[in-house]
Chains A and B, each alone.
Chain A
Amino acid sequence: MNISINWINDYVDLSGIEVDELVKRFNLSTAEIEGVEFKGKNINNVVFGKILSVDNMPQSDHLHLLKVDVGDEVLQIVCGAPNVYEGMVTAVCKVGGSVCAGKIKATKLAGVESFGMCCAEAELGIGSDDDGIMDIKEPVKIGEDIKNVWPIDDVVLEIDNKSLTNRPDLWGHYGIAREFAAIFGRELRKMPVVDLNEYSSLKPISVNILTDNCFRYSSISVENINEKKSTREMAIRLNYAGMRDINLLADLTNYVMLDLGLPMHAFDNKLVTGINVIESDGNMTMLTLEGEEHKLPKNAMIIADKDKTPVAIAGIKGGLKSGITDETNSVLFEAAVFDCENVRKTSRSIGLLTDASQRYEKSLDPELTPVALARILYLLMKIDENVKVTACLSDCYKKHYDKVQIELDPKFISKIVGTDISKEFIIKTLTALEFGVKEQNGILVVDVPSFRATKDVSIKEDLVEEVARLYGYDNIQPLPLAFDCEPQKLIKSIEYEYDTKLLLAEKYNANEIHSYLWNYEDFNKINKIESKSYVSLLDSSNAGQSGIRSELIPTMLRCLDENKNYYEDVRVFEIGRVVSGLDDENNCIENKKLSILFASQNKSELELFTEMKTAIFDIASNVMGVQLMLEEGDTVGYLHPVNSFRIKSHTADYGYLGVIHPEVKKSIDKRFNVVALEIDFEKLANSVKQTKKIKNVSKYQAVDVDFNILCNEDMKYIELTNILSKFKSKILSGYSLVDIYQNKETLGNKKSVTLRFNLSSFDHTLSGEEIEKFRNDFVEFLTKNQLEIRL
């Protein structure tokens, strides 16, 4: 919203305060100023001039050669405006002067010298008309600088609308002026209005409110309006505030809106008789002033005439048919307050956001409606003294806001702010903001003004804010907190999360990604990945992305797909959330999961599988202290039916790991071997840590003995170790796998598994005989179990 300081000065005298200071204090005390514009700064040496002659130019079909009297001289000016005529008074920028577009120099146009420029309103930044040069009708002195007569010099503050969301009182200049008055301790002047009681003897217009969503509807009727144009000052202010000047009546309604923050509307009395405020049945349409047809949703509020013909969308936009035109000389002025939510919903639904709807959404004060009418009448009468009020104030006040009164212990403010703020300062500040303050036994009884009581101020904490912001946060001395120094608890799954990620990145060269929470249904379908969604978004901007994911691997596969053309190896992981089901109350069951994907054009599936098994066992064992194992069992459809396995510990099942299904592989990119895993990260992190026992080491020398055990090539290592677990020996402290050797030519269908046995005793050095006995016993054991030693 744009705020004109000239306008503000109508209500509070800000003289002597630098613009920088105004901006700084307003920023810190009220709302954010995003920009400052110094209007008129680039308008120089522009004077009133009278066109003495207009000659056509043979060289051009649209240029004219003018002789223009600018007081002290007559200038020859070549002008392209279509509306020039002899005797026209206009604004002339002399050579060396400047307008919005820049400096004006003596120049040649179509070969003819031109000394200056006749200006359109838009070129001076004071109006919207750029169809032709200014045609000035008001009496002016030829040769006088226009800035001496018109208030062109101004400072315009651009206030961030978002920072005014909660302040319906700040959507007009008067409210902003009230803030400045309070901030700088200056007097806030009363807004000049007429006394509506003077017309109480007249008959009112008939107004019926047939909805609960209209709080108050006030109107008044005026005729014999002959002036058509706003004053220059009003037009300039409207333009500086970001609106266009249109005609007197439209300008007046806009001007009062920018004054008070309450939108107004004017209906042509010839077209509208009687007012009904109704709600749409869902089938109504309205052709608005812009000429656009809108279908009005059910419950949208409509202003209709006595026959219930819609004439305006309440609080949003007027209808084309009832709108004022240049011929209008008799109007009905509307000042009303509508329910904020209803206006917001209608506005969003029909996609029409207007200056009016924007204000109504903020919960406007219904007390303002008669003030707005008194104000518009005052302004109108100042411009056109012959107007006649034909109907007195008709005022339907259906719904009042509760009066808000707050009891405030002045000490409460100091207690919350953390610095001493005197009772006098509190009273002074609240009074300046037009709160009513009475003191009773040391307690302040505060009456919240109606314009702050629609939602903004209701509890004593709100008053803390009012006082503290004007006290100035920069005047508060920061103070450390007084707290115990108790150690805080660490949450395992959060601590482990970082350690896990770091390990995967640093040791396993994997890249962390973050992906969206929804499934990519098209991608999954094309690549034959079936992945369930237990819930979906009601309104997703992208079709096929509304199902919430229940698994991470499909996301990882999509990442592979997006990167497959740039890399030979893709190694990615994510710790992310999924919805894995619904509980009895139909609420989502959410899990934090870890997924890893290794894909390579160079490594075999077995190599990738082994790397990934290493990675997850490493994480579980070294980060979380959980010993994992893989087990055969069902996993998911997009993993390989043979080579995919459950990831378990002795007590729990955490997820699965496997090669992707050949069909999926072929569909994504057959060059890549792909292995992926998915585990319930929180479950793993919260598993009971298995405290590792530190093994005692014998003081006596230990001996390693290697055996090459021949077994069938299909025999799983776990089958072998199951057999070996039955072998007992006092001197065997453990064994480990050294190598597995396969060679069709020499070993046929067998493989040779080399195990290293560690032999030791805690009470003596082993003798050669003992070792020899171990060898013999072990070979005998193997033979009994249909295994043999390869020598």
Chain B
Amino acid sequence: MELENINQTEKQFDEESSSVDSLETLESLRVKFLGKKGFITDIMAKFREVPVELKKEFGQKVNALKNKIETKIEEIKTSLAQKAIDAEIKNTKMFDYSLPVDTKTGSLHPRTIIQKQVCDIFKNMGFVVEDGNEVETEYNNFESVNVPKNHPARDMQDTFWLNNGELLKTQTSAAQNRILRTYGPVCKVIFPGRVFRNEELDARHENTFFQLEGVVVGKNVTVANLIYFEKAMLKSLFKKDIEVRLRPGFFPFTEPSYELDAKCPFCGGTGCHTCGNSGWLELCPCGMIHPNVLRMAGIDPDEYNGFAFGLGFDRLVMIRTKLDDIRYLNSNNLKIMSQFKTNM
């Protein structure tokens, strides 16, 4: 009779559970069968009335039914959760992923971007990055770097002289004397900066432009070191091996002096717009520091020597930015300048 009751209950559960369609009905089903006042409790309450010989079987069956109900309820719960998520997904409205987004940021000046890249290369090579004034004395700009008194560069035509006798520096070399004095006879320093020449402006000429210059001073520094160094530097700059050639040049602050050309990294030397069809880019004036320059900085040229080099910085900026007019670099033209963002 009691066993009959168990089967009856099981049958009823099977029936009712098959129609459960929500967490609410599932909960009432659970209460109905497993709750404190539910069927299983009721059946268990009758245990005492079960004849002894059936007690074992009765107990097993009740437990089995209880387990089955519990398992089934868990199963239904899981499947209901799944259905709910499926329904949610089904009802989700797709975004218009094609709408434009605003990635607006400000911009750095292209010189700033390239200066950062170049300076990082030099810092990795162990250089100090220095800086210099824009107004300089005649001594620093000319005398101290061995530019003779009557050199044409000192003429009014090329130099912006100021009414207090000073001048706008015509070359980053104006900082050499101070830097050599500050950093002493063994040093590696670069000093980018703005320089000024009293020139007519056109698409290729500016009166205000950027240069980058560096010095390496030590004992027994050689031309062979200079070539090695320039190659390493250009390799970092253009991210590939660059063939270079040295030609004789003339600068008062170096002796011997060179023009260092890089095999054009854009055409590989066959000739293109960037290199003016010559296959070579004239990028780095350089040379062994003139003994007079060392002497004027308090360094004994018999004991120490070194090399100095320049980098046509604005040339590099023009090449990288593909701008066709150097005057943009000093313009307030935000239509151009705002395009550069913070990286190139």
Q: Taking beta carbons and an 8 Å cutoff, which residues of A are in contact with B?
A: 27-32, 163, 165-167, 340-341, 344, 348, 361, 415-419, 459, 461-462, 464-465, 468-469, 473-474, 476-483, 485-491, 493-494, 498, 501-502, 504-506, 508-517, 535-541, 548, 558-559, 562-563, 566-567, 570-572, 577, 579, 582, 586-588, 590, 592
Contact = CB atoms under 8 A, between A and B. Distances in A.
Most B-side CB within 10 Å, residue of A415, A416, A590: A416
B208 interface: yes
B22 to A, nearest CB: 39
Contacts of B47: none
Contacts of A592: 131
A494 B157 CA distance: 32
Interface stretch (B33-41, B63-71, B325-333): B325-333
A385 to B, nearest CB: 43
A166 B250 contact: yes
Given A483-B188, A515-B332, A517-B168, A506 B106 contact: yes
A481 B221 contact: yes
Contact of A588 (B128, B130, B164): B164
A506 B150 CA distance: 49
B10 to A, nearest CB: 52
Given A505-B105, A505-B107, A513-B337, 16 more contacts: A163-B250, A465-B256, A465-B257, A474-B246, A487-B126, A491-B131, A502-B342, A505-B106, A506-B105, A511-B107, A514-B194, A517-B168, A538-B163, A559-B334, A587-B166, A588-B166
Nearest to A462: B255
A562 B250 contact: no
Given A348-B157, A502-B108, A535-B163, A511 B223 contact: no
A382 to B, nearest CB: 36
Nearest to B149: A341
Contacts of A478: 224-225, 227-228, 231
Q: Which among A478, A481, A537, A571 has the highest number of chain B CB atoms within 10 Å?
A: A481
7 contacts: A348-B157, A419-B222, A478-B228, A481-B218, A537-B161, A540-B160, A590-B135
Interface string B245-274: 111111000011111000000000000000
B224 A419 contact: yes
Pick the most buried of B131, B155, B222: most chain A CB atoms within 10 A of its CB: B222
Contacts of B162: 535-538, 548, 588
Nearest to A555: B332
Given A563-B334, A586-B164, A517 B248 contact: no
Interface in B123-167: 123, 126-131, 133-135, 137, 150, 152, 155-157, 160-166
Interface string B290-331: 110000000000000100000000000000000000000110
Given A505-B106, A535-B164, A567 B334 contact: yes
Contact of A473 (B228, B246, B305): B246
Contact of A28 (B131, B246, B288): B246
A511 B112 CA distance: 12
Contact of A489 (B128, B288, B341): B128
Interface string B219-249: 0111111011101000000000000011111
Contact of B106 (A508, A517, A563): A508
Given A32-B259, A418-B222, A473-B223, A511 B106 contact: yes
A31 B259 CA distance: 10
A655 to B, nearest CB: 19
A584 to B, nearest CB: 12
Nearest to B246: A473
Contact of B223 (A361, A418, A562, A590): A418
Interface in B55-114: 104-109, 111-112
B216 interface: yes
Interface string B166-192: 101000000000000000001010000
Contacts of A167: 250
Nearest to A558: B332
A505 B342 contact: yes
Contacts of A541: 198, 200, 207
A582 B332 contact: no
A566 to B, nearest CB: 7
A515 B330 CA distance: 5
A348 B155 contact: yes
A477 B228 CA distance: 8
A548 B150 CA distance: 26
Nearest to A361: B152
Interface in B197-227: 198, 200, 207-208, 216, 218, 220-225, 227
Nearest to A31: B248
Contact of A562 (B194, B208, B222, B332): B332
Contact of A512 (B129, B163, B227, B337): B337
Given A344-B152, A476-B223, A501 B108 contact: yes
Please name the 4 residue pairs, one residue from A and one from B, whose CB atoms are nearest each other, closest first: A418-B222, A418-B224, A465-B256, A478-B228
A488 B127 contact: yes
Residue among A341, A418, A462, A514 with most chain B CB within 10 A: A514
Contacts of B48: none
A517 B334 contact: no
B13 interface: no
Contacts of B112: 498, 501, 512
Contacts of B305: 416
Nearest to A570: B334
A28 B245 CA distance: 8
A491 B200 CA distance: 35
A419 B245 CA distance: 17
A514 B161 contact: no
Given A165-B250, A511-B338, A567-B334, A473 B135 contact: no
B332 A563 contact: yes
A535 B166 contact: yes
Contacts of B163: 535-538
A481 B288 contact: no
B307 to A, nearest CB: 10
B251 to A, nearest CB: 9
B131 A498 contact: no
Contacts of A563: 332-334
Contact of B126 (A485, A535, A577): A485
Contacts of B156: 538-539
A31 B160 CA distance: 30
B105 A30 contact: no
B335 interface: yes
Contacts of B165: 586
A512 B108 contact: yes
Given A465-B257, A538-B161, A582-B164, A483 B222 contact: no
A339 B291 CA distance: 27
A587 B164 contact: yes
Contacts of A509: 104-106
B131 A417 contact: no
Given A28-B245, A491-B130, A477 B160 contact: no
Contacts of A566: 334-335
A624 B10 CA distance: 77
A311 B228 CA distance: 57
A461 B288 contact: yes
B116 interface: yes
Contacts of A538: 156, 160-163
A482 B222 CA distance: 11
A479 B222 contact: yes
A498 to B, nearest CB: 5
A517 B208 contact: yes
A469 B168 CA distance: 35
B126 A476 contact: no
Contact of B111 (A348, A468, A514, A582): A514
A482 B128 CA distance: 17
Contacts of B157: 348
A257 B315 CA distance: 37
A571 B338 CA distance: 10
B211 to A, nearest CB: 14
